[in-house]
């Protein structure tokens, strides 16, 4: 393909089949201008590292118009400001989300003509561009905590005629203005900030994800001021909100203690070692019950499994399918918490998470099981 518009049209054909109202916006938005360079993982690097990526001369549109997430910032280093020799090893701190997910969220958002929309997490500016194309620039406000991201997005959007309002703001603090009809967030939050609920008009909708989970929720503000909705069927994961240039470091010091030490308690493993990445629903429920527990896993050559659970207070658990043991240490018993969550979910018939409802208000922010017997506070 020699013309970006053909590539954008093919992307639109691919990602808007279930949301045709967004086809024109996707096919008209030059994503390559918003993401001229990005980061990609370096295969087999140790420690895990990222390398700078630019469009290939023989296929200049192939990657920018693929339905893929393009990581634009690792740690504090944005791809715009990097050299080809740079090899950052941190976590992604900004990206241009895969267009198919953005379109799915916009379809859930269902903005109408004249709606005022708040786009939380400007990033590359892609979602703001789609909204502004369909609704008009004056209907869209986009915020990001990162001053550079806002400035770069503003300049690049203006380069193809899009001028939504872009502001530097902490999404967990006060918002620019109020009276929004729709809010969409491409950063995850927990809880949903009270300022969002206050700034949303009655009848308005929020589409966002819950930090540490793959739960995408869509909810509407009711006349009593409570925002009610439900979890969506397909999982979606976004980076959490941040106030600093980077996220806190991973719990390597706790992992070093947990890797092969005996711990202060040993017990028999009573079932298989859970696959917390494969079983995303169990992982989400565990995160909702016991927030911010880092998990790591490994498979030995003989196929036996190891799982570590790590907490910032130094608590850890290690499950080993070969020795059929669980070892724990620290002030909390992380494995006991995981088993308790498994038991409650099993007793409830392992309901699909998209059958959960959400209630967000001044007195309670929570997810509820289908029979309302299990409440998970946000």
The C-alpha angle 298, 72, 187, rounded to 5 degrees, equals 75
User: Cα separation of 237 and 235, whole Å?
Assistant: 7
Q: Name residues whose C-beta falls within 8 Å of residue 96's C-beta, 6 or more positions apart in sequence.
A: 31, 34, 35, 38, 69, 70, 72, 123, 124, 126
Q: Name residues whose C-beta falls within 8 Å of residue 123's C-beta, 6 or more positions apart in sequence.
A: 72, 94, 95, 96, 97, 144, 149, 153, 186
Q: For residue 360, which phi and psi values (nearest 5 degrees)? A: -125, 120
For residue 271, what are its two tokens? 């079932």
94 is catalytic: no
- List % helix, strand, coil for the chain (3-state, nearest 5): 30, 25, 45
What sign results for the dihedral spanned by CA atoms 349, 350, 353, 359?
A: positive
Q: Which of helix, strand or coil describes residue 68?
A: coil
Q: From the candidates 25, 27, 96, 127, give the one annotated as an active-site residue.
A: 96
For residue 66, what are its two tokens? 């693929």
Q: For residue 377, which phi and psi values (nearest 5 degrees)? A: -70, 140
DSSP conformation letters of 108-156: HH---TT--EEEE--TTSHHHHHHHHHH-GGGEEEEES-HHHHHHHHHH
The C-alpha angle 71, 76, 82, rounded to 5 degrees, equals 70
Active site residues: 96
């Amino acid at each position: 393909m020699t013309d970006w518009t053909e590539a954008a049209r093919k992307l639109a054909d691919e990602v808007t089949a279930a949301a045709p109202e967004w086809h024109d916006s996707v096919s008209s938005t030059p994503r390559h201008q918003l993401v001229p360079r990005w980061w990609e993982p370096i295969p087999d690097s140790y420690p895990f590292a990222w390398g700078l990526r630019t469009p290939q001369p023989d296929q200049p549109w192939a990657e920018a118009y693929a339905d893929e997430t393009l990581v634009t910032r690792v740690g504090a280093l944005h791809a715009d400001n990097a050299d080809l020799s740079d090899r950052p090893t941190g976590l992604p701190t900004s990206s241009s989300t895969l267009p198919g997910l953005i379109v799915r969220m916009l379809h859930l958002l269902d903005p109408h003509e004249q709606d005022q929309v708040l786009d939380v997490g400007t990033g590359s500016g892609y979602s703001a561009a789609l909204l502004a194309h369909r609704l008009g620039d004056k209907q869209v406000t986009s915020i990001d905590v990162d001053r550079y991201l806002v400035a770069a997005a503003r300049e690049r959007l203006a380069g193809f005629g899009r001028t939504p309002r872009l502001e530097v703001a902490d999404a967990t603090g006060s918002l620019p203005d109020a009276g929004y009809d729709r809010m969409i967030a491409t950063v995850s939050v927990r809880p949903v900030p009270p300022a969002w609920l206050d700034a949303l008009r009655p009848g308005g909708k929020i589409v966002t994800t819950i930090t540490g989970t793959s739960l995408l929720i869509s909810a509407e503000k009711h006349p009593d001021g409570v925002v009610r909705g439900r979890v969506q069927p397909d999982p979606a994961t976004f980076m959490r909100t941040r106030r600093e240039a980077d996220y806190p470091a991973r719990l390597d010091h706790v992992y070093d203690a947990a890797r092969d030490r005996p711990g202060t308690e040993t017990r028999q493993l009573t079932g298989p070692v859970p696959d917390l990445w494969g079983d995303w629903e169990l992982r989400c429920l565990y995160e909702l019950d016991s927030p911010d527990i880092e998990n790591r896993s490994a498979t030995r050559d003989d196929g036996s499994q190891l799982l570590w659970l790590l907490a910032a207070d130094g608590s850890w658990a290690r499950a080993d399918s070969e020795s059929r043991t669980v070892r724990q240490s620290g002030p909390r018993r992380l494995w006991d918490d995981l088993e308790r969550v498994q038991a409650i979910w099993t007793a409830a018939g392992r309901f699909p998470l998209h059958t959960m409802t959400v209630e967000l208000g001044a007195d309670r922010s929570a997810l509820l099981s289908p029979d309302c017997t299990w409440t998970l506070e946000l």
